[in-house]
Structure 1
Amino acid sequence: MSGSRYPGSVDVAIVGSGPTASAYARILSEEAPGATIAMFEVGPTVSNPPGAHVKNIEDPERRTLAQRASEGPGAGAETVNSPGAVKSGQRRARPGTYLLQDGYSFPGEDGMPVAAMSSNVGGMAAHWTAACPRPGGNERIAFLPDLEQLLDDADRLLGVTSSAFDGAPFSDLVRERLAAAVDSGRAPAYRVQPMPLAVHRREDGRLAWSGSDVVMGDVTRENPLFQLFDESLVTKVLVEDGAAAGVEVRDRRNGTISRVAARYVVVGADALRTPQLLWASGIRPDALGRYLNDQAQVVFASRLRDVSAGGTHPAAAGALSEQAGVAWVPYTDEMPFHGQIMQLDASPVPLADDDPVVPGSIVGLGLFCAKDLQREDRVAFDDGARDSYGMPAMRIHYRLTERDHEVLDRAGREIVRLGKAVGEPLDERPFVLPPGSSLHYQGTTRMGRTDDGESVCSPDSQVWQVPGLFVAGNGVIPTATACNPTLTAVALAVRGARKIAADINSALLMSESDNRLSKQ
């Protein structure tokens, strides 16, 4: 192991560098400042500061290079900038992501043909759309009494604001038209409102996307006891006497394998690779990989014909446009979908390519549907086959139920109604994106109130079977959500991180007390 760039031991080893893994690093840096922390990311550093959103890179060539570097084993494959390629039936990924080579569907199942991942410092938060709505109704985790406070903490870490687009020329108009069609009979919290977004103002005054760099914050970057190691593949969680004891990591720069001892291990990869690592480590609770759920997504577009160009300046390349805002139609149990009505350049769906349009006058509508949770919807792992990283190959089993199709049909009718309320529809009918398109995969390491065989981890995100091992990410969310899951996932990570911090601080106090007693 000579020449290893990794420490021999740390208090906490964190696998992954997305927003939830970064939340662990941040909370531990704030609340357990004496703890040594090592973070391992399989992909490279693609931005400065590490973990920043690549769309904040103004130079198009540099931004493209950063996206390509995030595509892991899929680098060089064709990517899609519009739903046109998706609609044509071609199986493609968005820039900065890559798809499974195989195992994404099986005969008689819907599968997830466009399930995607990213491999880079910052994870998917280097490529996301920054929407951070709060869950409502059945989306909420009923057994967490402190959920609202945790969501407040997640807002702080992500830098969430609902006022980013207050000056946009058409945001009020779009919300007014949506509200007229939606708000009747809804409680105030569930009425049309600005979308909470993880965005911030740069020094030049323009809006920029938050990434994992914002979650980490200066307190983490300036923590001398925190280290981030990129291009480092964790291949195994080490377990001794039934408890987490560290990680085995392969340096992807030279192929060497090292062992890093740790009192606590946090696996915060994503909803596919977190259960993959646990499986590869021989940690295989009954619920591992199960209750996999995506949010079926319906898209539509309308055009505001009765508007004229405002006086706002266009955004620099890569930055957020301030021509129009992002509206939110919250999920309700009666209407089990979440509406995201986006400005042109923040949407993954380009919306018009005919004649020149007034900036901000093309409105993209998307409805995300809550899944009918099924235990048999799962990501499984094949010990007899290996993926591009040498890990057990993924096999996705996924079906849309009769209820899912009913909700999709309702969402299709509703999105047309909303599109007509906003303006002039650009399409005759909405389009249902292929399974996996939302990138909001959840449930595979789900949290539970008790160890009943239907969950992987406790309300503190600690794996039931392995003390000291914590899981993080969207996979921990146990409910069927329609809203974007990042805020909730970060909130759950805050809870887990505070559990570790409290244990570390308690052990430190006990050690200091023992030392004082021994000297008396």
Structure 2
Amino acid sequence: MSEQLSADFVVVGSGICGALTALVLAQRGASVIMLEAGPRVGRAELLANFRNSPRRGDWMSPYPFSPWAPHPVYRPEDNEYLVQAGPYPYPAEYIRMVGGTTWHWAALAWRYVPNDLRMASLYDVGVDWPFTYDELDPYYQWAEELMGVAAAGEEHPESPRSQPYPLEPVAEPWAMRRIRERLTGTYAVANNPVARNSRTFGGRPACCGSNNCQPICPVDAQYHGGISVAAAEAAGVRLISSAVVYNLEHDEQDRIVAAHYYDPDKNSHRITGKTFIVAANGIETPRLLLMSTSDRFPNGIANSTDMVGRYLMDHPSTSLTFDADEEIWLGRGPQSPSSISALRDGAFRSEYSAYRLDFTNISRVDSTTQRLLKEGVYGPEFERRLRYSAAHEMSVKTVLEVLPVPDNRIALSERKDALGLPRPQVHYAIDAYTRGGAQDAKQHFTRIAELMGGSNLRFTADDYFANNQHICGTVSMGDDPAVSVCDGWGRTHDHENLFLVGTGVLPTAGTCNSTLTAVAVALRSVDAMLPDPTIAREPAAAAERTGS
């Protein structure tokens, strides 16, 4: 007979949001069990996988695929785990293993701009959040301190802050310095805020500039979910890996009483607890809720108003690649170090999407080599063209806002995975609002190329949008249960002891990578789950007034 386990809190998912939530709960004296569908894999093995991978440029290749906990794989061919229902493809990438997808990220740690939380009120599009930017500010700071975010506050007036960044900016690469100097007077180019060490921090070294931020930082200068998990376990959290949660069980009062999971051999186990937290990503969280059906909830847990899975958002990108008139040599330093933020907000948002302009600093050697070989170029001509492109080629991309549209959603497919569970199905379209932002950006692409003396301009096709893997929405927060899944604290409207954390709860996507905001919102939710009596926080007091 298997061991019967129970805890004050049961957390489903060991990514950065789930692990940091578990960490803080344990630090406050609670017993916590954290369940992770994927395996535990050490950093040394991941680094070896990266260095030995024959699939250069495939940033998923270091991360093991587990038949019992599959994730999307697209190279060398699509495994079709994420079933596409159209009309536009949504090839999301994420990792199911201990620590989650932040093993593999560029560590960009932007804050939203305040108006991202007031889209309906200000621009008559999207929705308003159930709390304000000012309420989130202390939790942003807390998240930045946990993760060691490096930036200069004066470079980011678009996102006000009450305290300085924990770390000074990471050293600016030469290429980005030249771009900034040549665009000065027309565009303000700023260093991206990053969860990457600019000096020794958290027992880890500073960034060494190796340009391997993705698929994995070779020196562990970047923060990631593996670090969060280690801290949670050190605080007393019990982690069970290879535990695929497939059902949440409720009682007659609609409280969640147990999580059922399969091990890799499809043996079923039951974990009980007082409070349950689903911390999978914006695809796996709705998938679990939709699978958890009962006579009372035939459409799934927390889904009495058919909102689970809806409002899927990301940040599609268009781009321009061109040759600068001087040697800038991309490839030294972080892969995504600098951006232009001037277009992240404005009255135009009532008509078309806001966006950030992001400069890529990925070495051009590999991509140029592959292109020249496909063209049949060899010998001295190969060497000449490779050197020229490596030195002169650069690119700039948009990070486009997507509105919360109910028909963009995650559903359950009729196709099954190895454990017999439904694969997630995605319904996705890119609407006129987002396309309008992409069209507006073309004038800025052209102007940037002019300022850099650009030639050989190559725009992406009008109907091509790259995916950025910033999975937002699908279990959105809100005050109205008719159009949201959980309240402003992450508590589901249907179940008083079921909380949701992660990027899926974000009601709008803004124009920045979603991880930092998701962590900040998760930390705010912890103050509703288990307030810290030693810290006087207004959100905790508000939670007490609502009976939390």
Q: TM-score range by the shorter chain?
A: 0.7 to 0.9
2:200 corresponds to 1:210: no
Size of the alignment, in residue pairs?
Answer: 456
Q: Secondary structure at the match of 1:356?
A: helix
Q: Secondary structure at the match of 2:445?
A: helix
The superposition leaves residues 267-322 of structure 1 with CA deviations (integer Å, 9 ceiling, x where unpaired) of 11111110111111131232111111222211223444424779xxx8xxxxxx42
Q: Secondary structure at the match of 2:174?
A: coil
CA distance in 2, matches of 1:505, 1:388: 47
* 2:274 maps to amino acid: R
Q: Secondary structure at the match of 2:527?
A: helix
The superposition leaves residues 379-409 of structure 1 with CA deviations (integer Å, 9 ceiling, x where unpaired) of 2225x55344433343322222222322222
* 2:136 maps to amino acid: L
Q: Secondary structure at the match of 1:105?
A: strand
Q: Which residue number corresponds to residue 166 of structure 1?
A: 171
Change (3 A) 1:299 1:350: farther
Which deviates further from its counterpart, 391-400 or 431-440? 431-440
2:150 corresponds to 1:138: no
CA distance in 2, matches of 1:77, 1:380: 19
Alpha-carbon RMSD: 3.5
Change (3 A) 1:265 1:74: closer
Which of 266, 273, 281 lines up with 1:262 in the alignment?
273
Q: Secondary structure at the match of 1:274?
A: helix
Q: What is the correspondence of 1:356-435 to structure 2 with a 5 Å cutoff?
A: 356=387, 362-382=393-413, 385-422=415-452, 424=454, 427-431=457-461
Change (3 A) 1:49 1:3: farther
Change (3 A) 1:433 1:421: farther
Change (3 A) 1:471 1:250: same
2:321 corresponds to 1:301: yes
Which of 88, 113, 116 lines up with 1:110 in the alignment?
88
Which of 225, 230, 235 lines up with 2:241 in the alignment?
230
Structure 2, unaligned stretches of length 5 or more?
A: 118-128, 152-167, 210-220, 293-299, 372-384, 536-548
Which of 341, 345, 353 lines up with 1:332 in the alignment?
345
2:236 corresponds to 1:239: no
CA distance in 2, matches of 1:435, 1:73: 28
* 1:344 maps to amino acid: I
Q: Which residue number corresponds to residue 511 of structure 1?
A: none
Q: Which residue number corresponds to residue 97 of structure 2?
A: 120
Q: Which residue number corresponds to residue 14 of structure 1?
A: 11
Change (3 A) 1:236 1:505: farther
CA distance in 1, matches of 2:360, 2:66: 25
CA contact under 8 A between 1:323 and 1:360: conserved in structure 2? no
CA contact under 8 A between 2:178 and 2:328: conserved in structure 1? no
CA contact under 8 A between 2:250 and 2:257: conserved in structure 1? yes
The superposition leaves residues 388-444 of structure 1 with CA deviations (integer Å, 9 ceiling, x where unpaired) of 443334332222222232222223343333344345255432356856722112110
Structure 1, unaligned stretches of length 5 or more?
A: 81-91, 184-191, 315-320, 507-520
CA contact under 8 A between 1:235 and 1:250: conserved in structure 2? yes
* 1:157 maps to amino acid: L
CA distance in 2, matches of 1:389, 1:39: 21
Q: Which residue number corresponds to residue 24 of structure 2?
A: 27
Displacement after TM superposition at 1:501 (Å): 2.1
Change (3 A) 1:271 1:425: farther
CA contact under 8 A between 1:159 and 1:210: conserved in structure 2? yes
* 1:146 maps to amino acid: E
CA contact under 8 A between 2:98 and 2:229: conserved in structure 1? no
Q: Which residue number corresponds to residue 139 of structure 2?
A: 150
* 1:36 maps to amino acid: S
Q: Secondary structure at the match of 1:197?
A: coil
Displacement after TM superposition at 1:110 (Å): 2.3
Q: Which residue number corresponds to residue 88 of structure 1?
A: none
CA contact under 8 A between 2:368 and 2:390: conserved in structure 1? no
CA contact under 8 A between 2:72 and 2:81: conserved in structure 1? no
Which of 470, 483, 487 lines up with 2:512 in the alignment?
483
* 1:148 maps to amino acid: D
Displacement after TM superposition at 1:216 (Å): 4.3
Displacement after TM superposition at 1:342 (Å): 2.5
2:500 corresponds to 1:499: no
Q: Secondary structure at the match of 2:358?
A: strand
Displacement after TM superposition at 1:127 (Å): 1.2
Structure 1 segments, 4+ long, off by >6 Å, are: 55-58, 62-65, 70-76, 503-506
Change (3 A) 1:44 1:436: farther
TM-score by length of 2: 0.74
